[in-house]
Every structure is written in structure tokens, then in C-alpha cells.
Chains A and B, each alone.
Chain A
Amino acid sequence: MKSRALTAGLLAAIMLAGGWLRFDRIRETSPFLWDDAIHHLEAVWLGDALHFLRTSVELKRAEARGGGDLWTWEGERHRFHQTVGGIPPRFGRPGHMVLVTAAMAAVGPVPWAGPLVAASCGTLSIAALFALVLGARRNDREAPVIALLAAAFLAFDPLSVRLSREGLADADGAFFALLAIGAYVRARRPGMGLAPTALAGLLAGFSFTVQTRNFLVVAMLAGWELAPGALSAGRRVGERTRRAATLLACAALFPVLCELPYYGALLIGRAHGIAPQVRSYVLQVIGIFANHHYAKRDYVQASGLANLASYPSLFHSLAGSWLPQLVALGGLAVVQRQALARHGEERAARLVPLTWLIGTFLFLSVTAPLGRYASLFVPALAWVSAEGLAAALRRARVRGPTPSGDGHGHSPAQRLFSRRLAATWLVAGTIALGIQARAGALESGVAEPGYAAAVAWMRAHGGPRHVTTTPYVSQVWAGVGEAEFLPGTESELAKLVESGHRHLLVDLIRNFFLGPFSAKGEVLKQVAARCPLAATFPNTWAERPEYLFEFNYDVRETWHRIESAHADRSGEIEIYDLAACSPPFAATSPELPAEP
């Protein structure tokens, strides 16, 4: 009982510390990448749409009470377009959108609603990992120590802390993935029926609706269930197949539920002769997978095996040393050795973090090793690091030969000494990791994006309507109708100028106008040559290595960008005055040659 209370107290302390790192100055955070800005705008749309529905129902009731002809299809359509802001869902992550909308319902449509969800889920992930490790090592007396260590590693992990302060779908995606894996690990226990497996499937399915990349979690769970050998938990093929089918069927439930509103809208629209123009959830997901990096072999072929260096390089950038990765490597070796030495459930418990870490690491490394994607295996990394540290502590406790020759039977003084040593290890390691993460978090706080200031400046100098290289972030601050993506031709740009788009906002994205977007790069060159630079704003996140890994399709290019970030002025937002260009852009100006 006493040790349970101690464990709970330590977990609470770790969560408090982790929560502090995640929630500290959360109100100063805001969207600055494309994805988090899109999620913010989608959540605004959903919040407004729900409010519209409520008022529409009230209007209908008022009409039913005899208030005259208040409600008409046409009138409601018009009111919908007038009152609903943001952008309709397009990113195939309705789970995340709903969570951000819920946060907005609580704190208002503030830019930090997304980061608030991430911080909450990031903090809860610490407890979820603790529970997962405890569940996997249920017959192990060391389990609470390992679970606490894993929780501490995750709490102070720089990448986890960073992602928990951003409005991306990665922190909550990782949280629900952890819940799914935790439920699955419990479902694997001998004698468990299908219900826990179904629960794991449901959670995995929900995590997929939060973050499409979590299809890997669904695949991983099904793979563990179907895998022969040590992971099979002694079950026969038929039983494993039935359990895997249950898991997959349940995983499909939430995605299907997400599609239903679209289908209902389609049927109702068909009955009223209206064709909804919104892409349904399934089409969004298909679009994501069809266009995503996983489907683009070019990336894989171009980068080759060099991308395997991506994540080690990213973690080195984040931590500023190789030490955490060495601990993790040591942990991997320990877990692998333990897996070989044990049998049955104990072996399976070791194989889970091993296959989770190696599988996702390799898949992402050879497809699209973007920084935030690592959120899928960071908890596994924390787990194996904890195993490594626990093994080191074990060795520290068992010092020198004993009368029985097996390390047992130390004198009380020896035990006291070794426990002290272990405690010292634990405290020192935690403090070191905490300081390191705190430093990283502080630095993140310093690296504030400059979009709010840039849009405020434009608002004061001729209005917020502008052309931009980063449309969704601009729309968060200026409004959806006030910011247009930089077009690919001068004549289109001239039309935008004529329609009142006074300024051009240029940020880091200009360095990524490649391939199909290179025409925009040419227009940008013309603007830089012909229009005066009206203002610049610091945007320091954009020159920090760990953020440049968010564009990492080829690690060699990323290294090059990191080296030249300062020279490229990546950390600046530039505002060009489009109304003062010489010569001015005209709708009849000759088109640039089309891209081959």
C-alpha cells in the first residue's frame, strides 16, 4: 500500500512537471504551420456550424409556435454562408477537429485552442504510458519503477513537449494511440474475451480519426494479433484471426460514423435538389493517402537510405547531445536481450515496445521522416529508454559478488547504499532531462511566430487583405476571405491587387516553391524585384533545426537548409507593398512561361 502511494505520488509529480512544461505560457502559442492553421479554421467552422444549427432549430420552433414564415431553405442557406466562418473540414481529421472545437467551446475561438488540446493530451499521455507499461509488465515487481521512468522520459522529452504546445493533431493522436495500445496489451492477457480487443479497436479507430497517420497503429495492432511465434500469446490461428477481425471491424466504427453526416447531408441535399460541395470524410482520407508522401515513391527513391539518419539528427538537434539516444539504444539492447531470454507473456511484453519502435521508425524513415511524425514512436522510445535505465539501476543495486553468488543477500548497509544510489540516479537523471527539456521549451517560447504582428501591421497600413505564401496561417489572423495564396501568374496577382490585396506576406515557405509550385517562385522573384519591402518581422521558429525537420523529405537537403537558414532569412516575415510596385502588376502583363 505504501509503495502504491509512493508510486502514485511520483507519477503525480512527474505529471505536474510535464504539465507545467506543456501548459506554461500556453496563451502565447498560436498556429504557424499549415496543418495547425487548417485545424484551427476547421474547428471555427464546426463551432459556427453547430451554433447555426442551434439557431436554425430555434427559428423553426418559433415558426411552429406561429411566428410567421421565419424558416425557409433558401433563407437558411444564405444565413449559413453569412454566419459560418472558418473552412469546412478538408483534412480528414474530424476527431482532432471535434477536440479543438470542444476546447473553443470552453475558452472561446482563441488561437491557442489547438495547443490547449495538445497540452492536455500530451500531459495525459504521461499517465497513459505509465498505465501501458504497468499493464504490459503486470507480473514484474520492477514494473512500477520502469513505468515511472518511462513516464518521466516522456514527460521531459523535448519533441513531446514541443508537439504538446502546438495545434497539430500529433499530441492527441499519440495520446489515443497510447490508449489503444494500452487497451490492446491488456486484451492480450490469457483468458481475455473479445470485448477488450474490441475496445482496443475502437480506440485505434478513434485515433485514426484524430490523425490519419495512425493507420499505422491499427496495422500494428492487427499485425501483433496475427503474428505467429512469440507474439501469438499461444493462441491458435483461428482465434487470432477472429480477434484481428474484431479489432479491425471495431477500428472501422468511428471512421464510418464520421462519414455518416456527409452521407446524410448528401441524401437530404438530393431530396431538396442541393448538391453539397464538401468532400466527404472518406474522400478526404482517400485524397490524403493518394497525395501523401507514402504514395510518392520519388521521395523514397531520391533520399534512399540516407533518411534513416533523419530522426537521430532531429533528436540530437532537440536534445543538444547524443546522450538520450545512447540511453535509448542501450534500452533497445536490454529489451532485445530480455526478449530472447524469456518466454510466453513476458517475452511478448518485451517484443511490444521493440516492434513498435523499430517498425514505425523504419517505416517513417524510408517514407517521409518529418519531425512531428516521430510522435508515433516517441512513447516507445521513452519505454525502451526506461528499460535501459532500469537495467542500469539494477546493476548499480547489485554490486559485487554475494555469498550466494547471484547478487542476492546483501547486508542492510549495502542495500541502503544501493537504494540511495538508485535514488540518486533517478533524481539526477530526471533533473538533467527536465532541465534539458525546460531549456528546449523555453527556447520554443522565445521562437514566437511573427504572423500576428505582421497581420496587425497590415491592418494598420491599408487593411488586412493580402496575398501570402502561407494562406491558412494568414487566414487565422486576417480572416478567411482576407488572405489569398500567392498565384502562379502575374496577371492573377494583378487581379488580386485590383481587388484590394495591398500586401504580400512572405515567410519560410518561399524556400519550398518547388515542383508544381515553382511558378509561384517566379512570381515571388518579380515581386521582390519590383515592389518595395515595407516591413519585416522576426519569425524565429523558422530557422531552428527542429522545425526545419518539419519539411524533411530528404535529410541531406534539410541539413543544407539548417546550415543556410540564417543566410536565407528563413526566420523573417517580409511584407511587400503591392500597391507601390514599379512597374505595377497589370492584368494584361505577359504571362510567365508555363512550367513544363
Chain B
Amino acid sequence: MSAPSTGERPTRWMIVLVIAVATIGGGLTRTCEVLRNPSPLYLWDDAVIHLEAQYLVSMVDALRTARDQRREERATGKDVFRVEDAVERFRREAAGVPPTFGRPLHDLAALVTMEALRGRAIAGSTWGPLGDPRLWAVPLTSAIAGALTIPLAFLVARRLWGPETGLRAAAILAMSGAHLLYSMEGFSEALLILLLYLALWVHLRGRAAVAARPDRPLAGSLGLGLVLGAGMLVHFRFSILAAVFLVADALRAGTASAPTEAAPGNAPAARTPVRLARLFWVGVGIAAMLALAELPYYLLLMAAKQRGIAVHPKTYLEQVLFVLAPEGLGYAGSLVRFRLGNLLTYPFALVYLCGGVVAVLAVLGLRHSRSASGSAEPRRPGVLLVAALFALPLAFYSLTIPLLRYGATSFALAPLFAGRAIEVIESRFAERGRLAVARWTGAALMAAALVEGGLLPLSRLVVPNGYAVALEHIVTRAPSTSAASPHLTTTPPISWALAGTGSTIPIPRNESAVSAGREAVALGARWLVVDSLVDFMDIDGQGFPAEARFLRGVEEACRSTSPVPNPFGASLVHDLELNYRPFLDTLALHRDAAARRADLIRLYPLRPCVGAPFVPPPSPVAPPGPRP
């Protein structure tokens, strides 16, 4: 039922071969790029996920130790194990930070990767943290998720438009600049994209199952709910995509064709009770996954209550309430500050990350996604959902906070539409009997999409950072070699990940905090680490203006020694990831990167400044916190 073909349909072996090459090649590209990076953590979120996974590793280690001690106790009869001692030891020795970001599934995936990397060698550096391969665990998790997405893209596109489009979409995704970028970083986006494709595949399978067995209209709904719930456990932002799926499920009857023109896989119109039942089961799946995330906390709290031990980590639902609810309020606040120019963010980003060819093809494919206009092709079930998943998040975030990574799931769907566009163009030529032209045009467009959409952007997307060098600089000049001197920094999580959670001192926020900061200096804090983030801490009085003023005060009073190159801080990706300003202002700021010294991490020795007359103006605002 696909568009007129330009030749023979791909055989099963050909499909397997192409998908295997795309998956393995794409996976290797992503993994190699991650491993080539000497300092794999360079923004706030990836460092926090690393720290949370570290904490879970400590917990696993503590449980292993407890298990061994219990075994020893049983074998020897000696009183080796006491719960209170084990808890105290864990509190003393645990690395990282307890999960606070409401992303338990990402933490869990990073934990599994960390455990797999334990004892392996990756980098040649001799400096402590860089000698530990587990520092690469979080971006490697993204790389693995990115590689696994490629065959899923094929499966989804095959169900939508057939195997040829599936192969094209998988190949374009494998080399897509946006997907490569988020498969090499430690953000949650690669996992989100994987689960989005998985949810799409489950949804489309469910539709086909209902079409095959109309007496089982609930087929696949629970599975879809479980996948959507899993996505929300990776990042609660997935709930927007889940809402699109739910609306699509609720409206499925409206999207279905009349029985006379029903296409394969197109379910008959559902009655309202059946739609409600489907929504119910999808909801059950989502709730089950959220409950699953809360369960360990419940067990921990109950066990601690029984033992009379006080435990403090926020439970998953508390994290959702206290971390993510404020984020939701932040979106509402951003709506008030909306500027028309923000609507340009994602079109610009699509071209910048995926290349102009893929961007144009994606728009063309979107236009002809349901059926080629003027053709007798039947309408494709499920295509409208993919289009909604592509467009709605972009529209939502353009109106609220158009950060680059928020568009990642939409960018990852662009290869599907690009593949579709190539198919439509080929079919147009084929319809006119110009098979050779069709074949060559398709091949040329594919080549352009792969080269211009992936290989070329890759060079400007992979930008090194200088955090490891900066931290190494501090540590190697510390009086004790055990850890970095306590320091003040604009990005504490990166310092915690590289130099330990006790390595930083919070930036003073008011007069008393300044006194505390000076006291900390007197106690041994030697450095202030300032990167390009300082330019994003005060945006029209929003964010962290007091901290920004404090940092600028220090910068004026002290003299930076040996600044460390940090090209990432001056990159457009960096600035777009912090696109809290109106988009055009962000672009202007980016053009000004060299003047801002954004490409440097400045290190200020604090001790010479202790007596210097800098008094930043007091302002009682919250400390800089992680932006989920």
C-alpha cells in the first residue's frame, strides 16, 4: 500500500544488513565520540545524574558488604553485622548525592553502566577521577540508548510507510546531528528518545492488533501505559508526550477511516466506553510505573521506621512535587515573558543540528506524511500522532522556555519525515515513468541528508570543555593530595563529580553568607572557578542575581591566573541550552562570546583577595539550584 516503488522492495536480508550496519555504526560513532572526550561531564544535569548514580553504586556496594557480613556471620557464628553500623558506615562513605532530580530510571540506567564499567580502563589520564572509567558512564548510557533507537526508528517507520522508508529513516537517524549530540551527552534526552520510539512502536502495534482482532479493543493499552510511565521516570518532561499519546488514544475513533476504506492496521472506530477503558489501562500502566519508582522509598521508610532509624532522602513523589512542580510554575512564568522571536528557536536549531537538507525534507515529509497529495494512497493510521509528537512539544516550549534540549524528541522524529519525503519525491518521478531519475534523486537526497545532516554538524557539535583541566589545576596545587581545596564555583555538580562532594563551598548569598565565605577562605578555600555560566545567572533580575554580583565583585577584586580553555562555553549549543533570554538576545550574546571570555574557565586564587575591599550587595535569593 506504499507509494509507487522505484524498484524491487528490500529483501529481509538486506533490511537486516542495513539496520545492523546503521545500529553498529551509529553505536560505534556515539561510543567513540564519548570515549574520545577527556572530560565527559560539562553541564549541570549530566553531572547531577552522575552523582546520583554514584550514590546508588555506593548503596549497592553497601548492600553487597552487608550480604557478605551476614554470610560470614552465619558461617562463623560471630556477631559481625549490625544494621545501625552498616547505616552509619554508608552515611559516612557514600559517594555522590541521593537522587533528587526525579529521574530514577535514568539513574538506574547510569548505575547499570557504571557497574559494567567497574574495573575497566578507558582514559589514559593518571589524574584520579579521570582514571575512573565510571566517569564516562552517564554519556555512555546515552550512547547505548542512542544506538538502540536506530532499529526502533526502522520498526516505527516501517509500520507507518513501509520498509524502504524505514531503512531511510533509520539511516538518517543514525547520522542525525541532533541525535548524535544527545547520544554523546549525559542528558536524559537519548533515553527519552528511545522510550518515545518504543511507545510509538507499542502504540502502532496495538492499533494493528485491534484491527486484526476487533473483539479485543484494549490490546496494547497496558503496555503503552508502562512505556509512557517509564518515560516519565526518565524525565517528567515526558508527561507532555504522554499527554499527546493519551489524547490520540481518546480520539482514535475520530482518526480511523470508514470501514470501506480501512487500511491495514487501521482499527475500526471505537465506542466511548472502549475508549475510556483504553485510557484507563494506559493510566494504570503509567501509575504502575510511578508506583514502582516510589516503592523502594516506601520499603526504606518502613524498614527505617521499624528500626527507629531516621532517613532523609526525598521520595520519588516528593522529588516530583518539590523539584518538578516548581519547574512547571517556571513554565507558566516564562509564558508571561514570551517574545515572538522565540518561535524561531527551534526552526533555527533544527537546521543547525540536523542540517538544511534534513530540515527541508522533514517539513516536506510532514506535509505528505498521511498520504501523498494527489495520490490514491490510503491515509496512514498513526501518522497524525507522530506529527503531533513532532510539532506540539516545539510549540509548547517555544511559548515557554525554548531550551535546545527540550526540542530533542522532536528533532529525533525529523528523520522519519525526511525518509518519507524522499519516498514521496521518488514516487513522483516513478509515477511519470522516470525510474532512473527517481532512483538517482533518492540516492542523492539520502547522501545529502547523511553528509550535510550528520557528518558536517558533528564537527561543530563536538566541542571540548576544560573542566577536568581546571579541576586538575586546583587539585595538583592543593596542600593535600587527597582532594581539591574547597573552592567556590559556578557549576558545583561538575566539581563534585570530579573532585568530590565536599570540594565546593556555596556561593555567599547575603552579608552573613559573605562572612561565611570569608571564613571558608580562612579555613582553606583557595579558588574561585568561574565559567561562562556566570553570564546566565542574572537575566533581567531573574535567576541568581546576587550570586552573579558576588562573582563579578570577586572578578574585579582578584586576578585570574592561568585561565583554562573551555571552547564549549563559547559554543552555540551551550548558549542555546541556556536560552532563557529571548532567542535573538541569546544569539547576540553568543556573538559576543569572545568579549565575554566565555571560552575560558577563570581560576581566581582567593587567598590574596581575603583582605581586599569587595562587598557584594546583599540580596536574599535562593542559591543556584539544578535546572531539571
Contact = CB atoms under 8 A, between A and B. Distances in A.
Interface of A: 191, 193-195, 256, 263, 266-267, 270, 275, 280, 282-283
Contacts of B317: 267
A267 B315 contact: yes
Interface in B290-320: 291, 298, 301-302, 305-306, 315, 317-318
Interface in B185-240: 215-216, 218
Interface residues of B, number: 13
Nearest to B311: A270
Contacts of A256: 291
Contacts of A283: 302, 306
Contacts of A266: 301-302, 305
Contacts of A263: 298, 301
Most chain B CB atoms below 10 A, which of A195, A270, A275, A283 = A270
A45 to B, nearest CB: 20
A267 B318 contact: yes
Contacts of A193: 215-216, 218
B514 interface: no
A201 to B, nearest CB: 12
B483 interface: no
Contacts of B318: 267
B112 interface: no
The 5 closest A-B pairs by CB, nearest first: A266-B301, A263-B298, A193-B216, A280-B302, A267-B315
Interface in B106-154: none
B456 interface: no
Given A270-B301, A283-B306, 7 more contacts: A193-B218, A194-B218, A256-B291, A263-B298, A266-B302, A282-B302, A283-B302
Nearest to B273: A195
Consensus secondary structure, chain A interface: helix
B481 to A, nearest CB: 40
Given A266-B301, A267-B315, A282-B302, A191 B277 contact: no
Nearest to A273: B310
Central interface residue in B215, B291, B298, by most chain A CB within 10 Å? B298
A88 to B, nearest CB: 15
A267 B298 CA distance: 10
Nearest to B217: A193
Contacts of A280: 302
A195 B215 CA distance: 13
Interface string B546-587: 000000000000000000000000000000000000000000
A275 B298 CA distance: 15
A282 B306 CA distance: 12
Contact of A191 (B215, B291, B305, B315): B215
12 contacts: A191-B215, A193-B215, A193-B218, A195-B277, A256-B291, A263-B298, A263-B301, A266-B302, A266-B305, A267-B318, A270-B301, A282-B302
Nearest to A253: B284
A190 to B, nearest CB: 12
A195 B216 CA distance: 11
Nearest to B298: A263
B314 to A, nearest CB: 10
A256 B216 CA distance: 28
A267 B277 CA distance: 32
A95 to B, nearest CB: 21
A262 to B, nearest CB: 9
B301 to A, nearest CB: 6
A263 B306 CA distance: 14
Contacts of A195: 218, 277
A423 B302 CA distance: 61
A275 B305 contact: yes
A593 to B, nearest CB: 30
